[in-house]
């Protein structure tokens, strides 16, 4: 241990390791992400050099780094200093709560991979936020949620394994944590193991090198509930797949519960042995389909409700839910970014602030919506002719839909204000500005207008 803390040329080994870790993170994450979220990390003082302490200037940034770079930070430190036990990420200067990010390796007395419960029970490190109560349900994930609830219930096992699949960031990890929470609540003395397939591989290889595979096998196969996430990461890893297959067989033969998650259905996974896919496909396969606009809107509304000191206008939530559609995780990250920037700069969150803060992210998710498409959809919705929207008619039945169409063009396209004006019968850019402000105001006071805009936004961007 003394060697780890030994100072060479005035710099400790931990400080040297942190310099290398930062360089690796910048290269792998990219300059933009690194500068926004990882560059502010500072190396803090630790009572033991084997327990690394990192600090960030705000709780928002701390939570983001914990959520996205927990295992990665430990892997990076251990690649330089194998003796490192854990990495703590906390907020400076107050540092009210420290989250210990334990490495995916064998447990040590100071690295709580699992908390002992009674003589036989074992609790994994679960995220307390990821429970069934906090999971937003709609038609896109209903089957998966009900299957997960059923598997966690006490009593005989109705099916096993449960195979959850869906695109990245759609809620698979949340459901797996929820299953573990519910199962432990119903079975307080149970042994539960939750890990990623990458960690399964890491621990297995470490056990082979240490010539201690027996302990590894017993730890997993002795579980009452085993949950393994991101199965696709063991594709092509023959020895890991061999051990995984025997682990699955042991769990199923003992009538215990098994949950596997991947980004694709079993039959679509490449590089996984057919016998493994056959075993997994023999249970219940449940997919999580791409999120709907309503689900995304509800997810971020709940996240805002968890931040009582933060006010995010409805139009900003609509913008996020409409434009960031690929991943719930990325959607939550966008909300965190907006609220964090507002807190750090003292700015008020409004549509312009959110658009500026998320500029590149929004452009990256921008669908190729054209003004012609918007005009066609709006005219169909209000039972008008597309020509009415570019005509000189000022009747309310035409003027209001025209304003809504301009508002949507401003939000959903990259066209400038003069370009939008020209597409609406050669109108001046000031007319477009007036239309946008008018619809923004009406959305707060006129349910009919707000409902129409929400519906059209969903059809165009949801």
According to DSSP, the β-strands at 99-102 and 86-91 are antiparallel
Residue 32: predicted pLDDT: 66
Residue 164: predicted pLDDT: 94
Residue 364: predicted pLDDT: 62
Residue 180: predicted pLDDT: 93
CB 40 within 8 A of CB 15: no
Closest alpha carbon to 404 in 388, 270, 110: 388
CA 284 to each of CA 147, 167, 168, 194: distance values in angstroms, whole numbers, following the listed order: 8, 18, 20, 19
Residue 299: predicted pLDDT: 92
Bridge partners (DSSP) of residue 191 are 122
Closest alpha carbon to 332 in 302, 309, 370: 302
Low-confidence ranges of the chain (pLDDT < 70): 1-11, 32, 93-124, 363-368, 461-462
- Please, what's the largest Cα pairwise distance for the chain? 83
Residue 104: predicted pLDDT: 36
**Using alpha carbons only, what angle is made at residue 130 by residues 139 and 85, rounded to the nearest 5 degrees?**
145
Residue 182: predicted pLDDT: 93
161 upstream amide cis, omega within 30 of 0? yes
Q: What is the pLDDT of residues 422-450, one digit of tens each?
A: 999 899 999 999 999 999 989 888 888 88
Taking the C-alpha atoms of residue 138 and residue 298, their distance in angstroms, rounded to an integer, is 10
Taking the C-alpha atoms of residue 327 and residue 167, their distance in angstroms, rounded to an integer, is 8
What number of residues does the chain have? Answer: 462
Taking the C-alpha atoms of residue 282 and residue 58, their distance in angstroms, rounded to an integer, is 47
Q: Which domains does the chain have, with CATH numbers?
A: 2-102 (3.30.300.180), 116-288 (3.40.50.300), 308-364 (1.10.8.60), 371-461 (1.10.1750.10)
């Amino acid at each position: 241990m003394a060697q780890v803390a030994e100072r060479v040329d005035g710099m400790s080994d931990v400080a040297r390791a942190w310099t290398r870790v930062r360089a690796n993170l910048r290269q792998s994450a990219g300059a933009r992400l690194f500068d926004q979220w990882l560059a502010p990390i500072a190396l803090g003082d630790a009572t033991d050099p084997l327990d690394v302490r990192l600090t960030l200037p705000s709780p928002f940034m701390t939570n983001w780094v914990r959520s996205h770079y927990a295992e990665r930070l430990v892997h990076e430190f251990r690649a330089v200093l194998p003796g490192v036990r854990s990495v703590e990420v906390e907020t400076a200067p107050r540092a009210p709560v420290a989250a210990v990010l334990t490495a995916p390796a064998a447990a040590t007395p100071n690295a709580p991979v699992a908390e002992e419960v009674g003589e036989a029970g074992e609790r994994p490190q679960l995220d307390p936020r990821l429970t069934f109560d906090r999971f937003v349900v709609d038609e896109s994930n209903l089957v998966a949620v009900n299957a997960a609830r059923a598997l966690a219930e006490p009593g005989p096992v109705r099916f096993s394994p449960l195979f959850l699949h869906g695109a990245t960031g759609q809620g698979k990890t949340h459901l797996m944590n929820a299953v573990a929470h519910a199962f432990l609540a119903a079975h307080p003395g149970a042994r539960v193991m939750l890990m990623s397939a990458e960690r399964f591989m890491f621990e297995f290889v470490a056990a082979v090198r240490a010539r201690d595979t027996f302990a590894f096998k017993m730890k997993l196969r002795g579980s009452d509930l085993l949950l393994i996430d991101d199965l696709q990461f063991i594709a092509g890893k023959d020895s890991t797949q061999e051990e995984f297959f025997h682990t699955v067989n042991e769990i199923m033969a003992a009538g215990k519960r098994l949950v596997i998650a991947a980004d694709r259905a079993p039959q679509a996974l490449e590089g996984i042995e057919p016998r493994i896919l056959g075993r997994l496909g023999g249970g219940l396969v449940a997919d999580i389909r791409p999120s709907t606009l309503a689900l995304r809107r509800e997810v971020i509304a709940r996240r805002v409700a968890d931040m009582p000191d933060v006010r995010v206008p409805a139009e900003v939530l609509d913008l996020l839910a409409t434009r960031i559609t690929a991943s719930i995780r990325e959607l939550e990250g966008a909300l965190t970014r907006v609220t964090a920037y507002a807190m750090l700069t003292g700015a008020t969150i409004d549509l312009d602030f959110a658009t500026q803060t998320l500029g590149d992210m929004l452009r990256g998710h921008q669908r190729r919506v054209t003004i012609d498409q918007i005009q066609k959809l709006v005219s169909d919705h209000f039972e008008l002719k597309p020509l009415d929207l570019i005509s000189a008619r000022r009747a309310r039945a035409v003027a209001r839909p025209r304003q809504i169409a301009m508002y949507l063009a401003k939000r959903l396209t990259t066209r400038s204000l003069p370009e939008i004006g020209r597409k609406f019968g050669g109108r001046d850019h000031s007319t477009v500005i007036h239309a946008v402000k008018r619809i923004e105001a009406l959305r707060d006071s006129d349910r009919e207008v707000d409902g129409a805009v929400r519906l059209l936004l969903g059809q165009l961007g949801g």
